[in-house]
Amino acid sequence: MKKLINEVENVEQEMIQGLVKSRPEKLEKLEAGNIVVRKTRKQGKVALVSGGGSGHEPAHGGYVGEGMLDAAVAGPVFTSPTPDQVYEGIKAVATDAGVLCVVKNYTGDVLNFEMAVDMAKDEDIKADYVVVNDDVAVKDSLYTTGRRGVAGTILVHKIAGAKAEEGASLEEVKSVAEKVIANVRTMGMAIQPCTVPAAGKPGFELGEDEMEIGIGIHGEPGTHREKLAKADDIAKHLLDKILADIDYAGKEVVVIVNGMGGTPLMELYIINNFVQDYLKEKGIKVYDTMVGNYMTSIEMAGFSLTLLRLDDELKKLYDAPADTAAIHK
C-alpha cells in the first residue's frame, strides 16, 4: 500500500483536523469525535446533518458551511459512524427549528442515523431524516437494501441547505430534500480499485483491460465487468441507464461529472464533452454542470454521472449562495 499518510489508525482524525484547519474561521471539529460543524450557527434555522464512512472526501465535511450542511459526522473509512457519534453531531447544531439528517442508503448508515434521530427526539430535539438512493445501477447491493446513495447526495445538501437557510420549517426542508431525491439519478464505473488504509490492499481487482460498470462508492460490485471501452461509449451506457429510469424529456437538468478520487480532470472533461452533446441530442437542456471530485472512493479511478431534473423551485435553491470547502456559489 502506497499512501501519503502517517499512522493508519489516525487517518480519519488527521484528515478531519486538516479540513478544519483549512478553514479555521468557518469550521470546527468537536472534541467528541470526527465531527465537523460550522463555527457560526443560525438560531431558528433547521440544521442539516450528514455523514457516513470516511473515504468519500470532500463528502461530507467539505460540504459543511453556509448554504449547505451544519454538521458532518465521519465514521472510519467505509464504515458508518455510531449512533452516539451521529447524536453528538445532531446535538451540537440542533436549533428550535429542528434537525434534518441526510443519509445515504447503506444499511449501517440508515440504522445508525435512525437511532441517533431517536436519541435526539428523546432529548426533545425535533429531528427527522431522509434517505438518498440515487444509484440506478443495482437494486440491492452488498451493503444495501434498495438502491445505494451516491453523488446525488451532494445536491440534496445543496438544495435542502438553501431551503433551510431561507428559514423554512423542518417539514418544508424535508419535503424539498425528498423532491431532490425523487428527481436525481446517478451511475458510476471504475477502472482502478482503491485501498482502505486499514486493509492495506485493494478492495477488488480488475484485469489490465477490464472495467466495472455500475460500481458502488465502496468498490462494491456493479452490474457487470467488461473490456475497457472508449470514454464516450461508457458515458453513453451510464446515461442511457439514467435516462431510462425517469423521464427527463424537455426538462432542465444539473449534471455532475464526478471523479472517484484518482481520475484526472483531463478525463472528466473528455467525458463531459460527450455528455453535453448527448444530452443536447436527447433534447435535455443543461442548466449547470459540475465537473470534479465530489463523492469519491479514496483513490479509485473511475467516474459517475448524475442528473438532477429541475423545476423552478429546485433551480432557485440550487443557485443560492454556498460557502463550503468544496462548493462555493
Which residues lie near a second copy (CB under 8 A)?
A: 2-7, 11, 14-19, 21-23, 54-55, 57-58, 62, 191-192, 194, 208-209, 228, 230-232, 234, 257, 261-274, 276-277, 289-291, 293, 296, 298-299, 301-303, 325, 328-329
Cβ distance to a second copy smaller for residue 27 or 137: 27
- How far apart CA 289 and CA 307 sit, in angstroms, is 9
**Annotated catalytic residue: which of 157, 218, 224, 237?**
218
Q: Are strands 184-192 and 127-132 parallel, antiparallel or unpaired?
A: unpaired
Scanning the structure block, which residue is given the C-alpha cell 454556498? 322
Which three three-digit cell numbers place residue 181? 431525491
The nearest distance, CB 206 to a second copy, in angstroms, is: 8
Count of beta carbons in the 10 Å neighbourhood of residue 233: 10
Cβ distance to a second copy smaller for residue 60 or 174: 60
Count of beta carbons in the 10 Å neighbourhood of residue 328: 10
Cβ distance to a second copy smaller for residue 131 or 275: 275
Cβ distance to a second copy smaller for residue 172 or 226: 226
**Annotated catalytic residue: which of 56, 60, 157, 237?**
56
Q: Is 237 noted as a catalytic residue in this protein?
A: no
Q: Are strands 210-213 and 127-132 parallel, antiparallel or unpaired?
A: unpaired
Write the CB contacts of 111 (distance below 8 Å, at least 6 apart in sequence).
Answer: 80, 83
The nearest distance, CB 30 to a second copy, in angstroms, is: 16
Q: Which neighbouring-strand residues pair with 278?
A: none
Q: Within its chain, how far is the Cα of 91 from the centroid?
A: 22
Cβ distance to a second copy smaller for residue 75 or 98: 75
The nearest distance, CB 65 to a second copy, in angstroms, is: 13
The nearest distance, CB 299 to a second copy, in angstroms, is: 4
The nearest distance, CB 62 to a second copy, in angstroms, is: 7
Which three three-digit cell numbers place residue 311? 423545476
Q: Are 244 and 279 spatial neighbours (Cβ–Cβ below 8 Å)?
A: no
3-state helix, strand, coil in the chain (%, to 5): 35, 25, 40
Q: Is 60 noted as a catalytic residue in this protein?
A: no
Active site residues: 56, 218
